[in-house]
């Protein structure tokens, strides 16, 4: 990753420069703590941005995990032409728009602009509403990214997560499939999401 000269450094805030340092550590040294720090910095704003788009707490939590997984997998491609937060929010936005299209959700938020952590307005571009020819490829990519984390879950959570993420079943459908109480399914999936977050922060696990 390229180094910034003194003039370029002056373009960015101290927070953005700290992000660049963490990215260098993560990419060059495979530093899991650097990945964890980036996630800790931006998990909440990314989650709230996604929540405004999908208006569903459970979907927003799922999509937040996916967005960080995609961002971390492509982190070596990040260029310091703009802030990490701008780049991350665009990845999260595009991933959420794909989800909205697949689910055919009605939303009023995707046509609005939002402001990233640096105060920059970032517009959300939405393509035409025709069937996305890359829908199958997107689903395969999603499954590949999430499989990295799911394989490390305790066995009792793996089936739940696969039904939710890969098969895209609703909570009610999962409860019916497993013949389990709806409340139990929601509680166990919530715990599974917590474990996925913890994996990203663990020294023993790799992104």
Give domain limits for the chain: 11-201
Strands (E), the chain: 114-115, 121-122
**pLDDT (mean) for 25-42:** 91
Q: What pLDDT score does 106 carry? A: 42
CB 158 within 8 A of CB 149: no
pLDDT band at 123 (very low <50, low <70, confident <90, very high): very low
CATH topology of domain 11-201: Rna Polymerase Sigma Factor; Chain: A (1.10.1740)
Residue 200: CB atoms within 10 Å: 21
Give the confidence band of 157 by pLDDT, cuts at 50, 70, 90: confident
Q: What are the Cα distances from residue 178, in Å, to 18, 66, 94, 156, 205?
A: 46, 24, 32, 12, 29
**Which whole number is the average pLDDT over 160-178?**
81
92 within 8 A of 64, measured Cβ to Cβ = yes
Residue 64: pLDDT band by 50, 70, 90 thresholds? very high
User: CB of 35 within 8 A of CB of 81?
Assistant: no
42 has pLDDT over 50:
yes
Instruction: Say whether pLDDT at 138 is over 70.
Output: no
Instruction: Report d(CA 111, CA 126) in Å as an integer.
Output: 7
- Between 45 and 193, the more confident residue is 45
List the structure tokens of 183.
Answer: 């409340």
In this prediction, residue 105 has a pLDDT band, given cuts at 50, 70 and 90, of very low
Helix (H) or strand (E) holding 11: none
Mean pLDDT of 34-52: 91
Share of the chain above pLDDT 90, in %: 24
Q: Which residue has the higher pLDDT, 111 or 199?
A: 199
């Amino acid at each position: 990753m390229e180094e910034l000269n003194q003039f370029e450094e002056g373009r960015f805030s101290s927070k953005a420069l700290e992000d660049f340092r963490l990215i260098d550590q993560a990419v060059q040294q495979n530093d899991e703590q650097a990945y964890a720090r980036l996630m800790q910095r931006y998990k909440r704003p990314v989650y709230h941005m996604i929540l405004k788009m999908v208006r569903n707490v459970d979907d927003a939590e799922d999509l937040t995990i996916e967005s960080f997984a995609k961002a971390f997998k492509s982190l070596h491609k990040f260029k310091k032409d703009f802030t990490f937060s701008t780049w991350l929010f665009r990845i999260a936005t595009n991933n959420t728009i794909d989800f909205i299209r697949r689910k055919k959700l009605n939303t009023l938020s995707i046509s609005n602009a939002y402001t990233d952590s640096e105060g920059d307005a970032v517009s959300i571009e939405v393509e035409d509403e025709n069937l996305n020819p890359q829908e199958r490829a997107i689903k395969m990519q999603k499954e590949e990214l999430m499989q990295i984390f799911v394989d490390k879950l305790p066995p009792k959570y793996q089936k739940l997560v696969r039904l939710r993420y890969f098969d895209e079943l609703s909570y009610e459908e999962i409860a019916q499939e497993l013949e389990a109480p709806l409340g139990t399914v929601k509680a166990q999936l919530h715990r599974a999401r917590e474990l996925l977050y913890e994996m990203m922060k663990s020294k023993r696990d790799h992104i």
